[in-house]
């Protein structure tokens, strides 16, 4: 078995399961390539550009399987094809990908394993186009990558939201309040849909289905007539009122994805208050959805992704991402990965289930 040196990085937002992938990949790789070497680039593509890395071994990755976050750290601001650099005292944007490739060549890195979402994998595809042997592993709590049935991190996020909805239920019922819980997901409503169903929400608001405020009020009044004087509303951060627009929290100019959503729960609470008798409160769960221990399901899924990536190296399958399709791990071309995202459709099975259970989406 030839001596092989592999580089690995984690880009974009963090997600539970990144450490599990690193843990499993390291162990499987050294089983196949006992004389090989793995280096982990720190802070995503930034580490690739600055040649900032650490050695990854079974010893220094021991005990990280269950931990959230990433020991390699991550950044969602470093697109090396449009990178901010300072030249002659001025900040300019230029393509520094060739410098990154030269860094890999100098270190003797033959394969680059990239853990990330659509933005990170878009850059991976461009590196593959420049001759780099790249393998992608899909990561996002949003579960919105169209090329795979599920991404690691999603299950953990849903578990965290569901647990917190249970806590909100008790205080909402005690004070007979309406509580609007805002969850992550960007433009996709998968976290809101799954956690809303599992967490016994009364109203679920999705980015894909603009809501009508009066219909939310109608649901609250209906529950009051049934003797239920509290209501739990789950809103995806990308939810918007019919005829309105998404709430933008801020714009980060030096990021490949500059728009940061957030604040829809507070808006809904303020708009809803004049229409009902209950007090309305809003909660933004935010980054708590990314933290803590990785769920057992995501640990297993992460290991499956990692082992398939090692198999792809063994068989020389590059320029592809590992995908989970109909229960099987298969390689798909990186070009296919970034073609489209996966969104909730009005005819989705879970939408129908929720409606039959009395949950409203307040859609237009």
DSSP structure class, residue 246: P
Quick one: pLDDT at residue 77? 83
DSSP bridge pairs for 234: 181, 204
pLDDT of residue 261: 87
Q: What residues contact 260, with CB distance under 8 A and at least 6 apart?
A: 248, 249, 250, 251, 252
State the pLDDT at residue 340.
82
Q: For the chain, give every domain's residue range.
A: 5-152+295-325, 155-287+345-356
pLDDT value of residue 21: 98
* Predicted pLDDT at 323: 97
Within 8 A by CB and 6+ apart from 212, the residues are 241, 242, 362, 363, 364
For residue 254, the model assigns a pLDDT of: 67
User: Is 297 exposed, middle or buried, given 0-12, 13-18 or 19+ CB atoms closer than 10 A?
Assistant: middle
pTM to 2 decimals? 0.94
| pLDDT reported for residue 1 | 57
Give the total residue count for the chain.
364
pLDDT in tens, the chain (364 residues): 578 999 999 999 899 999 999 999 999 999 999 999 999 999 999 999 999 999 999 999 999 999 999 999 998 889 999 998 888 888 899 999 999 999 999 999 999 999 999 899 999 999 999 999 999 999 999 999 999 999 999 999 999 999 999 999 999 999 999 999 999 999 999 999 999 999 999 999 999 999 999 999 999 999 999 999 999 999 999 999 999 999 998 887 766 677 888 999 999 999 999 999 999 999 999 999 998 999 999 999 999 999 999 999 999 999 999 999 999 999 999 999 988 899 999 999 999 999 999 999 999 9
Q: Say which CATH topology domain 5-152+295-325 has.
A: Rossmann fold (3.40.50)
Return the CATH superfamily for domain 155-287+345-356. Phosphofructokinase domain (3.40.50.460)
Note if 142 is an active site residue. yes
Residue 352, pLDDT score: 98
Residue 256: per-residue pLDDT = 64
Residue 249: other Cβ atoms inside 10 A:
13
Q: What is the rounded CA–CA span in Å between residue 348 and residue 145?
A: 17
- Same fold: 5-152+295-325 with 155-287+345-356: yes
Spatial contact of 35 and 159, defined as CB atoms under 8 Å apart:
no
Q: Choose the catalytic residue: 14, 142, 144, 298.
A: 142
């Amino acid at each position: 078995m030839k001596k092989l040196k592999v580089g690995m990085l984690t880009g974009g937002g963090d997600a539970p399961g990144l450490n599990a992938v690193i843990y499993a990949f390291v162990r499987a790789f050294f089983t196949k390539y006992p004389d090989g070497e793995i280096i982990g680039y720190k802070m995503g593509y930034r580490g690739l550009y600055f040649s900032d890395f650490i050695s990854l071994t079974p010893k220094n990755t021991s005990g990280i399987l269950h931990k959230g976050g990433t020991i390699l750290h991550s950044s969602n601001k470093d697109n090396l094809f449009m990178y901010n650099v300072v030249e002659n005292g001025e900040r300019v944007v230029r393509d520094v990908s060739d410098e990154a490739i030269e860094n890999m060549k100098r270190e003797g890195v033959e394969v680059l394993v990239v853990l990330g979402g659509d933005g990170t994998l878009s850059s991976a595809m461009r590196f593959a186009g420049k001759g780099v042997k790249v393998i992608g592993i899909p990561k996002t709590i949003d579960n919105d990558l169209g090329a795979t049935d599920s991404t690691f991190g999603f299950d953990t996020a849903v578990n965290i939201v569901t647990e917190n909805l249970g806590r909100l239920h008790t205080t909402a019922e005690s004070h007979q309040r309406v509580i609007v819980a805002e969850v992550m997901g960007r433009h996709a409503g998968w976290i809101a849909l799954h956690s809303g169903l599992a967490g016994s929400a009364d109203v679920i608001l999705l980015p894909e289905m603009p809501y009508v405020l009066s219909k939310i009020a109608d649901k609250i009044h209906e529950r009051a007539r049934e003797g239920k004087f509290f209501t739990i509303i789950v809103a995806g951060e990308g939810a918007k009122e019919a005829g309105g627009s998404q709430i933008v929290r801020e714009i980060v100019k030096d990021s490949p994805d500059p728009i940061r959503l957030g604040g829809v729960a507070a808006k809904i609470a303020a708009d809803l208050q004049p229409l009902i008798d209950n007090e309305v409160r809003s909660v933004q769960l935010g980054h708590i959805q990314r933290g803590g221990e990785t769920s057992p399901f995501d640990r297993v899924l992460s290991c499956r992704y990692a082992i398939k990536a090692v198999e792809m190296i063994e068989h020389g399958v590059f320029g592809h991402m590992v995908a989970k399709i109909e229960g099987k791990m298969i390689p798909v071309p990186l070009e296919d990965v970034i073609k489209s995202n996966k969104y909730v459709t009005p005819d989705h099975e879970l939408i129908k289930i929720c409606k039959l259970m009395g949950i409203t989406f307040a859609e237009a």
